[in-house]
């Protein structure tokens, strides 16, 4: 699949819907990222570009967005996310993983905070999680790990406002869970088949999107390690 050059958030939303999977940054699969289909003048500039489009694209497509590939951001169309989550979670919801002793202790308070308040801005989440003194930065690693395992995604971004009410600076991520973000549609679909069957489906989808790529490279992408 040859990706078009992007001019605005609408272009990016259409591409996410069409491609189904789209990393934000370039990786092992050449030409398969937002970065590689963004004109250089829009990548880092005073003009509105893909950094500012992230929240609007999530809103327009209701896609899953989060650090799903090598700890870096990926857009995944909502129709494919239940299979992706089933594969990454290996068929376990978080409660079952806790019961089996398969989670790190530091993951639990983050998930509990999101169960209590389904959408939390990053700084609010850090304030609520009872990490030890001097360990506030550790939550960033926990959030990345939980996203890689598909238990957490990003619902949107909020920006600080100037005195005149204009947004400025870097957007602050609003964290949530797929269960809260997608609702019953996701919870009904996520564990309907075995994780191996979900992987087969995803390999078939990406094989059509990326016909020139060897299956092993696509598999590394789906595992998040390519």
Q: Is 4 a member of any domain?
A: no
Average pLDDT of the residues of the chain: 93
Q: Is 109 a member of any domain?
A: yes
Q: Is 162 a member of any domain?
A: yes
The model's pTM:
0.94
- Tokens read off for 209: 């999107």
For the beta sheet containing 64-69, the strands, ordered from the edge strand earlier in sequence to the opposite edge, are 21-23, 72-76, 64-69
Q: Is 38 a member of any domain?
A: yes
- Total domains in the chain come to 1
- Print the domain residue range for 52: 9-220
pLDDT tens digits for 16-49? 999 999 999 999 999 999 999 999 999 987 778 9
Region of poorest pLDDT, from 108-112, 115-119, 123-127, 167-171: 167-171
Residue 133: is its pLDDT beyond 70?
no
Helix, strand or coil for residue 99?
Answer: helix
The C-alpha atoms of residue 4 and residue 38 are separated, in whole angstroms, by 9
Furthest C-alpha separation in the chain: 53
The C-alpha atoms of residue 25 and residue 46 are separated, in whole angstroms, by 20
In terms of Cα–Cα distance, which of 42, 1, 41, 48 is closest to 22? 1
Q: Is 225 a member of any domain?
A: no
pLDDT of residue 164: 81
pLDDT tier at 165 (50, 70, 90 boundaries)?
confident
Q: Is 148 a member of any domain?
A: yes
pLDDT tier at 107 (50, 70, 90 boundaries)?
very high
Q: Is 156 a member of any domain?
A: yes
Q: Is 3 a member of any domain?
A: no
């Amino acid at each position: 699949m040859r990706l078009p050059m992007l001019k605005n958030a609408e272009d990016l939303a259409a591409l996410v819907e069409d491609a189904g999977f789209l990393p934000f940054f370039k990786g092992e699969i050449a030409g398969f990222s937002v970065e590689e289909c963004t004109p250089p003048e829009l990548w880092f500039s005073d003009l509105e570009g893909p950094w500012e489009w992230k929240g609007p694209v999530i809103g327009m497509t209701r896609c899953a967005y989060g650090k799903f590939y090598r700890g870096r951001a990926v857009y995944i169309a909502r129709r494919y996310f239940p299979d992706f989550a089933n594969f990454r979670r290996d068929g376990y919801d978080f409660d079952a993983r806790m019961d089996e002793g398969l989670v790190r202790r530091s993951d639990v308070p983050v998930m509990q905070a999101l169960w209590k308040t389904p959408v939390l801005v990053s700084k609010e989440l850090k304030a609520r999680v009872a990490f030890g003194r001097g360990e506030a930065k550790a939550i960033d690693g926990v959030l990345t790990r939980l996203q890689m395992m598909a238990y957490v995604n990003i619902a949107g971004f909020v920006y600080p406002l100037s005195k005149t009410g204009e947004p400025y600076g870097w957007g602050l991520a609003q964290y949530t869970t797929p269960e809260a973000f997608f609702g019953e549609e996701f919870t009904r679909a996520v564990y309907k088949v075995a994780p191996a069957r979900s992987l087969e489906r995803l390999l078939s989808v990406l094989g059509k999107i990326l016909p020139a790529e060897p299956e092993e490279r696509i598999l590394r992408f789906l595992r998040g390690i390519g």
